[in-house]
Amino acid sequence: MTAYSGGGAAVAAAAAARKRRLEEEEERLTPYTKEELAEGWEFKIVRSNTAIKGERFARLCAEEAENGWELVEKFDHNRIRFKRPIAKRANDHMAIIDPYRTRVGLSEGAFAAVILGIFLGIFLFIILLIGALG
């Protein structure tokens, strides 16, 4: 095993551990009462790999409202919880946006590809700079 592959494994393990911590945090912060569930509410958390704030946050809330979802809380700039009455499912066939989407923005794979591309670009720039100076 090279140092590079070991480093990659460590990064992957750290990312998996962070994801587990965030999921555990969400479980602690989102205890649904029997009353909420008995009253016919359904819940979801919309996640993003990039920050959802400002105009993007307002647009997300407006899009979710079109399908009957109401903002419950914003955990951070990457996780936002919504709820809606289960009766709103009757209108799902008319939805323009998937009413059960839980991700917005770049997928995890696309986000990783962008980050990798940035690092490769910086690496190549440094190599070219060293070659030009040497």
- Judge whether residue 17 has pLDDT over 90: no
Q: How many helices (H) and strands (E) does the chain have?
A: 4, 3
Q: What is the pLDDT of residue 125?
A: 85
Where in the chain are the domains?
1-30, 32-103, 107-134
Q: What SS3 state is found at 105?
A: coil
Q: Closest by alpha carbon to 7, among 119, 125, 121?
A: 119
| SS3 call for 86 | helix
- Give the H or E element holding residue 85: strand 79-85
How far is the first Cα of the chain from the last one, in angstroms, to the nearest whole number?
Answer: 32
Overall average pLDDT of the 5-19 stretch: 70
The confidence band for 43, taking pLDDT boundaries of 50, 70 and 90, is: very high
